[in-house]
Amino acid sequence: MKLKNFAIVAIASTLILGACKYEEGPGISLRSKTDRVANEWELVSYTYDSTEGSKTNYLDRVNTPEFKLLFTMTRSNRYTIDMVKPLGDGKYETSHTGNNNAQWDSQEITAYLSQIPGHIRNMMNQGAWNFDKRHFKIQIFKELSYVDTMESQVLQHDWTIVKLKEKEMKVWGKDANNNRFDMTFKPINDESYWF
């Protein structure tokens, strides 16, 4: 009986201590990491460290009254970054789902895209994502057919995971100039993402 109790305590300790991978948790989760990443995410916090070491909040550049960026991560390790128009009540309109009344002004779009930080703009449209070997980082691989400039030819972007919960994901990474950025995402869906 003592051996059985010892085995149970050893297994429980391994699960609990092994699950505490990220700085801000969670301590333990019954959902896999892939299932927690798979969702439609809205960027709710974006800070950027300049070369002088000062942090700047760039969320207003990414989320404007006219447009927002929607990060969709799927269980099949694909991602898309869509530019969407907020319609209210948690609904969005994309350029490919817009109705005939939708006016997507190309000058507005160009002005908005110029405000988006380069490392996000260079990942836009679609590609693949995966975890690194130890599941500490999310690796983003842009679809090669969208690579159009020398700056966007960085084929892999690494996001170090700080927090990975069903209701929040925090990551940080470095851009091409070796400056750190921190991003926090919230899901736009209450239910689990199904694909």
- In sequence order, the β-bridge partners of residue 24 are none
| pTM over 0.85, yes/no | no
The number of angstroms, rounded, from the C-alpha of 81 to the middle of its chain's C-alpha atoms is: 9
Residue 128 has pLDDT above 90, yes or no: yes
DSSP code for 192: P
Find, among 166, 130, 171, 167, the residue nearest to 23 by Cα.
Answer: 171
Distance CA 113, CA 116 (A): 5
Taking a C-beta distance cutoff of 8 angstroms, is the pair 78, 128 a contact? Answer: yes
**Left (φ > 0), alpha (ψ -120 to 50) or beta: where does 153 sit?**
alpha
Q: What is the DSSP code (8-state) at residue 80?
A: E
Q: Mean pLDDT of all residues in the chain? A: 78
C-alpha–C-alpha distance, residues 127 and 145, integer Å: 10
Task: Dump pLDDT digits (tens) for 16-51.
Answer: 555 556 766 666 667 788 888 999 998 888 888 865
